[in-house]
Structure 1
Amino acid sequence: MQPAPLMTTDAVAPGERAAAWRNWVWTHFGGLESDLYGDTGFDGHMSASQAGDVVMTKLEANRHRVLRSPRLARTSDTSYLKIVAPWQGSAAVEQQGRQTWVKPGGWAIYDTTGSYEIANPERVEHLIVMLPKEQLVERGLRLESLMARHVGGASGISRVALESMRNTFQELPAMNATTARGAGEMIIELVRLSLQELAGRESATTQLEAFRDRIREHIGQHLRDPGLSIDRIAQSLNCSKRHLHNAFSAEDDTLAHYILRRRLQACMRDLKNPAQAQRTITDIAFSWGFNNGAHFSRVFREHAGLSPSDFRETALRQSAVV
């Protein structure tokens, strides 16, 4: 099973690479938006193969983000569970208000039938694995609480699954169609066992994850409130501020930065939406809990790589082309 032809920016003029990459990502992953943190220089490469019903893609690229909006998720005619397993760099997987970071030696999973965002804040080399969702749903797994989780990879069945995914991708060129299909079925079964183990794990770790989910759910419900603060969250959840901070101590985000990033992501979605084009940038920012225009402009540029007005202009121009 030979990989699909390599998609590479090497043969594309520098000024056209960003647009070419966005088109490739949109086409290959079935309606997935991307942005490049406002960077002007970019290079990226993708190659893909199939192991039966399992689609495997190797992706190498400069820092970038991908986003599936609720609208795109609703209109998709494909139903996959998607795994990101870095060889190099890191990825932040966010879905259903839950976020997890994954680095080399681990993997995380999410559902393409729902909205999600993947941030790759540095140059990455990822293995992306797409598994037919119905083949896991049929086996009785309750998937919703397992999405945007760090499944593992350091030990146990999740490590076996990770190594099998990597080895299968590398050896697919030497496999015939029947062998490749069998390898794909094996991967689906190993992922099922890994998720089953994750779902059944009763430990301090899963209790902490459940508490983080409660915090994130509360933040999501009150994100538009400019009075949202760590003090208010602690009062609402009947816990100490120290307990809140400890819940996020192993995360790459502090709690305060998580709130800021969620607000910025919400602003970015509104600024990209043609239906919101008549609203002022200040109105959008203040509707998501910001109360200082200069502060918003500064943190937005730090997050997106562009000023809010430049970001909006670029995004609306790209949406008109797509």
Structure 2
Amino acid sequence: MQLYNNILYVGFDDTDSSSGMCTTYVCAVVLEKLKSCGMTLKGEPRLIRLNPFAPYKTRGNGAVSFRLVLDNNQTIRRAKQIILDTVEELSQLNDPRTNPGVVFYQGPMTRDLKEYSMKTVQCMVTLEEAETLAQKIGAEIVKYKNGRGVIGALAAIGCPLPDNTYELIAYREVNNYGKVRRINEDSVRLMDHETYPETFDNLDEGYMAITPHTPCPVLYGIRGETKEALYRAQELIRSEEPIERVMVFLTNQHTDMHLQAIDRIAGIEKYQCYVVKGVVNSNPHVIEGGHVIFNLKDESGEMECAAYEPTKRFRDSVRELAPGDEVTIYGGIGNKGTLN
């Protein structure tokens, strides 16, 4: 493999499942192994959140990528073997919905690759599209099972980041997987008070929001505008259980990259995210489960919109809408065809 500027791009996705593992953790383990062999990482690893309404996503729908500085074919072969062995070892291959894919690429960031990546963040992309592009640009793909993870792996390599944030993720020791996470909540509130708005999404109506609710390796994740803010926040958090490792990712989270502006309701399609303007055409009403529903219309058509229960107090603002109100809606379309 002839390297372009001595850089090997690596991307992978779909290693986790609803019952465990995390693709970012696989990335962190891979990078530790590569660095221990004397290999050099260029820049931060990237965590690219893909289309949040894709029906085949596992949990967070995030793919990872990173750049290695390598100077000879022997090192390239060794790096690839370490990566593939680790992905195979840690992926949840017994889960029918887990279909990892790994991509190795050594060329320039082409226009086709960037456009494909943006499409993967905003729309639906098929595995055939990913494989066709990989062949065109000379990227090497490795598939496990049906290999659907290749879609996100390739997108994570090529995704442009004109705007970005960072996420610091702390991981648990293996013997604590599946147990209650032991984080001092008062320290999280203090951290939020001291670092907001440089960090964000730390609390949800006063309760700790940095810990996941699945048996995955993640202990907590802090999101912020700069790496420096994340490190300051980390110093303020008191963990009452050991931390195995920490990794900071460059990411597209909270950049609204997944949203695409559209000027006609009739043009909206399932499994995509939009910014659309319209007029409220019904009184908001509450349905079973605490969800608030109303209709939105423009000259091209009408559709149902929802503020679901997990949005909590946001629903109070939605309830105040009245027929005739002109609004701009930011949301996505799921399987039921409701904009939320």
**TM-score between both structures, scaled by the size of structure 2:** 0.28
- The structure with the larger Rg is 2
More strand, by proportion = 2
Report 1 or 2 for greater relative contact order, CA contacts < 8 Å, sequence distance ≥ 6. 2
More helix, by proportion = 1
